Structure 1
């Protein structure tokens, strides 16, 4: 098992058997070497039933602010990119994104833009009923099943109905998932949640916990073998997985977990989950809380929603971390989608 610990900027590398510890200090020159050349990602917006989101892809033009209109969540008006930039006919590897509880398709826009700049197509949608603009099914048991189904629907659209579907390489598809998006990715990769284990450890009187205690059953969960590799960050519902229930996961995984967790994600649970996944996965540990994996906030978003923008500890530099985070995600997908 390879495990890395991050602080802010790489200064030394220690290999002790199978444990790899990478420590970071403030270091401007090294951060510059890790950053990705700034170009404009092509950006197409999706606005249809069950498919509200965006597609990023390589583009050599200069970026600008692209207004999101009705797709915009509170305090976010635009994304950087080149709207409807023409797409090269070359076949592109594809990564689909699954956002966290109550978030939105652009919650990890910096990672999507970096992947597009590195030669990937990227697509993300709002999960209906569990996003920043629609909380109608948030925390319900139905979301356990609908989230993976949302990703299957997105992938079907991209491969069959998207106007630029011919640029997608069907054999090079990956997934990025954060929080409940991490759960989503595990299910699509072949994991089966153990609802009895989860119910025995939850005490809430509302939501999926209460539904399970009242005898409700888990909806049907899809697996999608088109997905060949996945990056999972602070996967939620970790208590619902056992070594037996994740043994069906047979794709390469890059797993990120925060040391502090929080906001519904238990740091001990994500650590246990990382340790039982087959593979073994490539594991990275970040000395911060759950929201460190969200894109760095604009001033307007930080003022409107400080909870997701203020890092713990206060010395944690989210912008510096994301330079390395995005670089590591690109490296992983290049290795498992492009080099294969």
Structure 2
């Protein structure tokens, strides 16, 4: 399984760098940069906890060599911890990870590092309750909280003297993988439909692995408090979105989709015959 996932990761990385470059009319970078990396803590009132955020960026020489994201699913990628920023303004990609054992910000280094090497700043929060051995089915299925994690991260970057002067404010986008793809679509303007979310695991037709975990964890989506599930999570600062294998992708209000006004790319990995109809 790990070899398949690593091949998919390589393809996703290539597609993402290409698609994001097309979306934002990248400024003609002639040479690759060194990828720097830093961590920051971002407060979240809604989560009632702090978000752990990893940020990759084009760096000048310096810092300490580190390897991020090495696990059974993905090859790790090198970066320079706390290296100085290189001069200039760069597009910002807000990155949302998926849910599961590899679902954390550092695990996205396979895509964040090459983006930084090609002139992007990449900021990825770890979504609480969605990751590693501490993951919770109940927290994971509160999909409407994830976009707020991304917006809180952007607030912190814009308020940071270290980062804000390097961000091209008119070139900010969001990129998500799997459940992170759902997050990216929400930030673009797609609104969750609470009743579709409630019935998502009534059968195994849509997402057997996710729904098996939800049921085994004793979570009843019908009983879950979804008071704010259908809220508008659009962030007007986000100018483009890319969703790789978004899941769940069929719980959005159809009426909200035509209202999306920014460029959106949806990428499905694998052969067409193997892609479930729901995504």
TM-score by length of 1: 0.58
Partner SS state of residue 106, structure 1? helix
Given candidates 82, 101, 118, the residue that maps to 1:84 is: 82
Deviation sequence 1:111-162 (CA, Å, 0-9, x none): 2111111111111121011112531x43447621211110011000011135
Question: For structure 1, which segment, 122-131 or 161-170, has the greater mean C-alpha deviation from structure 2 after superposition?
Answer: 161-170
CA RMSD of aligned residues (A): 3.6
Task: Describe the shift of the 1:77–1:258 C-alpha distance in structure 2 as closer, same or farther (beyond 3 A).
Answer: closer
Q: Name the counterpart of 1:41.
A: 35
Structure 1 residues 187, 156: closer, same or farther in 2, change over 3 A?
same
- Cα distance in 2 for partners of 1:159, 1:84 equals 19
| Contact 2:57 2:121 (8 Å CA) reproduced | yes
The answer to whether the 8 Å contact 1:148/1:188 transfers is yes
Pair 115,242 (structure 1): closer, same or farther in 2 beyond 3 Å:
same
> Which residue is equivalent to 1:238?
249
| Higher deviation after alignment, 106-115 or 216-225 | 216-225
Counterpart-to-counterpart distance in 1, 2:275 and 2:75: 32
Q: Distance in 1 between matches of 2:51 and 2:224?
A: 32
Deviation at 1:236, TM superposition (A): 0.6
Q: Number of aligned residue pairs: give it.
A: 231
The whole-number CA distance in structure 2 between the counterparts of 1:118 and 1:207 is 43
Larger Rg, first or second structure (1 or 2)? 1
Q: Which residue of 2 aligns with 1:335?
A: none
Note the residue ranges of structure 2 that are not aligned, 5 or more in a row: 1-7, 12-29, 44-49, 203-210
Matched, 1:267 2:276: yes
1:197 Cα offset (Å): 2.9
1:145 aligned residue: 144
Map of 1:115 onto structure 2: 115
Q: Match of 1:255?
A: 266
Cα distance in structure 2, aligned partners of 1:38 and 1:121:
13
